Chains A and B, each alone.
Chain A
Amino acid sequence: MKPAPFKYHAPTSVGEALQLLAKLENPKILAGGQSLMPMMNFRFMMPSHIIDLNQIDELYGIELRDQSIHIGAMTRQHDIQTSDLVKKFAPIIPDAYDLVSHRQIRNRGTLGGSLCHLDPSSEQPCFISALDGEIEVMGPNGRRSIPIGEWTSTYMTPAMNDDELMIGTSFKPWPDGHGWAFLEYSRRHGDYAIVGVAVLSNINEKREITKISISICGISFAPYRLKDAETNLIGMVADQHAIEIAIKSIDSIEDVMEDAHNSSEYRRHLAKVYTRRAIELAFQRANNHNYGQNTH
């Protein structure tokens, strides 16, 4: 239960980290270490070089710039969860972080680390998917932005090159008065979700749906957006009939993943139950200004 030997590097700038990444054989990036370190302790991972990003100041921070929220890759999960800016513009995030592991983990764990680790059951890619986030990466040829929908290349593998480094994520806040919900089923509080659901929705004074996004984790490699249902729901009254349409669309998802404990049919069942509950809660919260104040 000890990591195999490696050489340790602690760059203090993104440029320096990129140079190390280009030059070293079998390197691994260390962010918060809350997934990589267990894997190294188990020796599932035996990198020859560790490039520790913890001393790169430019990778930390949360700011509102050009009408988008930008979160640096190394920003700690606890700092995001308790950020006033995040609470105000994306209350789904602190709600979801209540379900992400435990305080000791969130004190070290980073949003960037989670988005690169890409566990299919993780809450964080799921809420970034619901928010239509963009991932910013930096490489030898400069900076580029990858939409969250194109971020998963395959199982636990982000769509960036080996010589690139994720530097942050950004998303546009949803319109004022939006409703939100993040709900999940897990065996124990703080465990990875078996299935989790993120919902954001705006409804007008006639209770018609003007904007909705529904993303599910734990059923495929990447967070699964119910795109067809989202399109069909626009203009409908926010009621049980609309919810039925969203739930029904889950029946047609192909290749729901499974493991020894949770069959694909069980995961599909959970996805339906939790999508229903999450949409109901998001509809309740939409335009209800009391809701913005009761969390955290």
Chain B
Amino acid sequence: MDKIHIKVSVNHQMYEKDVDSRCTLGDFLRNDLGLTGTHYGCEHGVCGACTVLLNSKSVRSCLLLAVQANGSEITTIEGLANDDGTLSELQQAFTECHALQCGFCTPGMLTTLTELLSENLSPTEAQVKSAISGNLCRCTGYQPIVDATILAASRLRDKSIPSAAIKQ
């Protein structure tokens, strides 16, 4: 078997491992690192459950080889909470708006929407829907997820106003 040595940072922790060349990033996270928060649904790029952030960009971890992540910074669902362990604004809004039921799609939803909010703190409903168009949820009907994202965005905007004022 073709084994390759890789070095990746996952949620700000460095890992060095020998991986099979055919091992996908999602399998590496789940099986080699024990980070089972990243969920595998379809394993062919349709359901979005396995979405992680690779150098801050959302990607399907089932469509990437672990060796391709060599030298990268990866953020998974396990890395989204604040450093003190409290939930991020987006996670908090998800719980308040009932934006999850079974939770299977949630890691993919949160990573995808974290990318959206990192670029756009005033997303319209249409922009949120477009952002999660590649993430399937069979429980919620999506509306609570959209509501939670709009709520988190408004709270993040409120937080960012004072710091913007200080800069000026």
Contact = CB atoms under 8 A, between A and B. Distances in A.
B116 to A, nearest CB: 8
Nearest to A3: B22
A103 B135 CA distance: 10
Contacts, number: 89
Given A52-B68, A103-B58, A1 B2 contact: no
Given A42-B44, A104-B51, A8 B2 contact: yes
A34 interface: yes
B59 interface: yes
B64 to A, nearest CB: 7
Contacts of B133: 102, 188-190
A272 B159 CA distance: 51
Interface string B1-31: 1101000000000000000111010010000
Interface residues of A, number: 30
A108 interface: yes
A107 B57 contact: yes
Taking each of B27, B45, B131, which has the highest tally of chain A beta carbons within 10 Å of its own beta carbon?
B45
Given A5-B22, A38-B45, A105-B45, 14 more contacts: A1-B44, A2-B22, A2-B43, A3-B22, A10-B67, A50-B65, A52-B67, A52-B68, A101-B134, A102-B133, A103-B131, A104-B59, A188-B133, A190-B134
11 contacts: A1-B43, A2-B27, A5-B21, A5-B22, A10-B67, A34-B63, A50-B21, A102-B134, A103-B58, A104-B112, A104-B134
A107 B130 CA distance: 14
A266 B112 CA distance: 36
B134 A5 contact: no
A41 B112 contact: no
Nearest to B19: A8
Nearest to A8: B21
Interface of B: 1-2, 4, 20-22, 24, 27, 43-45, 48, 51, 54, 57-60, 62-65, 67-68, 112, 115, 130-131, 133-135
A3 B62 CA distance: 11
| Majority-rule SS of B interface residues | mixed
Contacts of A108: 59-60, 63-64
A10 B1 CA distance: 17
A121 to B, nearest CB: 16
A220 interface: no
Given A103-B58, A104-B51, A38 B2 contact: no
Contacts of B60: 34, 104-105, 108
Interface of A: 1-8, 10, 33-34, 37-38, 41-42, 50, 52, 54, 78, 98, 101-105, 107-108, 188-190
Contact of B64 (A5, A33, A188): A33
A39 B76 CA distance: 25
Given A1-B44, A104-B112, A8 B63 contact: no
Given A5-B1, A5-B20, A8-B67, A37 B62 contact: yes
Given A104-B51, A105-B60, A108-B63, A54 B68 contact: yes
A105 B130 CA distance: 13
B59 A107 contact: yes
B63 A37 contact: yes
Given A1-B43, A8-B2, A104 B21 contact: no
A225 B134 CA distance: 31
Nearest to B58: A104
